[in-house]
Amino acid sequence: MKNKISIAPMVDRTDRNFRNFVRMINKDVLLYTEMITAQAILNGDLDYILGFDEVEHPIVLQIAATNPKEAYQAVKIAERYAYDEINLNVGCPSDRVSGNMMGAYLMAFPEEVANIVKAMKDATNKPISIKHRIGIDGKNILPDIFERTLLDKYEDMMNFIHITEKSGVNKYIIHARIAILAGLDPKQNRSIPPLRYDEIYRAKKENPNLHIEINGGVKTVEEIDEHLKHVDSVMLGREIYDNPMILTEFGKYYGSEEKINITRKEIIEKMIHYVENMEKQNLRPHLFLMHTHGLFHNVRGSKAWKRAINEANANSETLRKLLKEMYNFR
């Protein structure tokens, strides 16, 4: 599946409500679920965990798995839902995830990742991709059998890619930082390790047959354009969550106009319709509205917007009132 821009999987952020909010602004960008563990799929409420709306296509299911058996079972179950692609998380640096031998921890075990991917491919005909870091620092985490726990060289990353590629993976989404598995929390792991974009550019140059997507620290269209000179696609995360109107600038990546012609007023009108449907189902509007804080990012009306939608009883009527009271809806 070819798509130049994707929105990164983010825990507690890229849920069904946020993804619907994105689709009110941009119909093309590739969406991801939050990271969902295989065990959650095996033991949880499937419609709650895996359900999504038709409008969310194209959409990727990201799973985290410890072994081939649970990966196969989880993907087989997910086949009941019409995801466009399945992604294996080999990049999450959380100690809770690494402690269960998932996420970035698995970069130290490329043969096992290859086995997990093979199992996933046995369960589905959907494309399988891998999201990972450029390397890991596994000090105090990796078993004693490892002579080196700092696997941060370009050659380490390429060894991981070449071994897993043999399992049938063609697409790699690479976060341009190493993951430090002990001593840093996930937020720190998104900022303290330095960005090393050049190594991802090199990976694409030396492996033109692979689809290489770059991730980490991307904030502007100008940065996207620069990255696309070197790689196939770009993944953004928190910038889109904090500043969703940047989605209007992505039309040029999908063969249409430079800027998607939609106003904040039109987006709020769509939001009213969505929240009304939630209310009919006795769902809390807050579960949707909490994802829309950034709609007025860096423009007049931001404080008033956040204050109103943060009210515990904010609902469709709140949005109608805001439409009447606020005038800067460009």
CATH code of the domain in which 96 resides: 3.20.20.70
pLDDT, tens only, 129-149: 999 999 999 999 999 999 999
Q: 30 near 3, Cβ under 8 Å?
A: yes
The residue out of 254, 280, 299 marking a domain boundary is 254
Q: Which residues are catalytic?
A: 92
Cα-Cα-Cα-Cα torsion 93, 95, 96, 98, nearest 10 degrees, comes to 70
Q: Is the pLDDT of residue 268 over 70?
A: yes
Band of residue 290 on the pLDDT scale cut at 50, 70, 90: very high
201 in a domain, yes or no?
yes
Q: Taking the CB of residue 12, how many other CB atoms lie within 10 A of it?
A: 9
Given 231, 254, 277, which residue is the final one in a domain? 254
Q: Is the residue at 142 inside a domain?
A: yes
Please identify which residue in the block is written with the tokens 């606020």.
326
More confident site: 99 or 240: 240
Asked, for residue 161, whether it belongs to a domain, the answer is: yes
Q: Which amino acid is at 94?
A: S
pLDDT-based confidence at residue 328 (cuts at 50, 70, 90):
low
Same domain for 249 and 269: no
Q: Where does 122-230 show beta strands of DSSP type E?
A: 128-137, 150-151, 171-180, 211-215
User: Band of the pLDDT at 100, cuts 50, 70, 90?
Assistant: confident
Confidence of residue 202 (pLDDT cuts 50, 70, 90): very high
Which residue, 254, 276, 297, sits at the end of a domain? 254
Helix, strand, coil: what percent of the chain each, to 5? 45, 15, 40
Q: Per-residue pLDDT for 329 more than 60?
A: no
Answer yes or no: is pLDDT of 210 > 60: yes
Same domain membership, residue 200 and residue 72? yes
**Is pLDDT of 90 > 60?**
yes
Residues 202 and 154 in one domain: yes
Identify whether residues 25 and 48 lie together within a single domain: yes
Q: Are residues 272 and 246 in the same domain?
A: no
Backbone Cα Rg of the chain: 20
**110/230 same-domain check:** yes
Number of structural domains (the chain) is: 2
In this structure, are 75 and 108 located in the same domain?
Answer: yes
Number of C-beta neighbours around residue 326 at 10 A? 17
Do 62 and 43 share a domain, yes or no?
Answer: yes
The per-residue pLDDT for 327 is 58
**For residue 2, is pLDDT > 60?**
yes
Average pLDDT over residues 64-69: 97
pLDDT at 150 over 70: yes
| 69 and 100 housed in the same domain | yes
318: exposed, middle or buried (C-beta count within 10 Å: 0-12, 13-18, 19+)? middle
CATH number of the domain where residue 293 is located: 1.20.120.1460
Distance (Å, whole) CA 91 – CA 268: 35
Q: Which domain holds residue 104?
A: 5-254
Strand positions, DSSP E, the chain: 5-7, 31-37, 59-64, 85-90, 128-137, 150-151, 171-180, 211-215, 233-236
Q: Are residues 29 and 79 in the same domain?
A: yes
Mean pLDDT in residue range 309-328: 89
Q: Indicate the average pLDDT of the chain.
A: 95
pLDDT number for residue 1: 47
pLDDT score recorded for residue 326: 73
Task: Classify residue 244: in a domain, yes or no.
Answer: yes
Which ranges of 55-168 would DSSP assign to H, the alpha helix? 68-78, 95-98, 110-123, 154-165
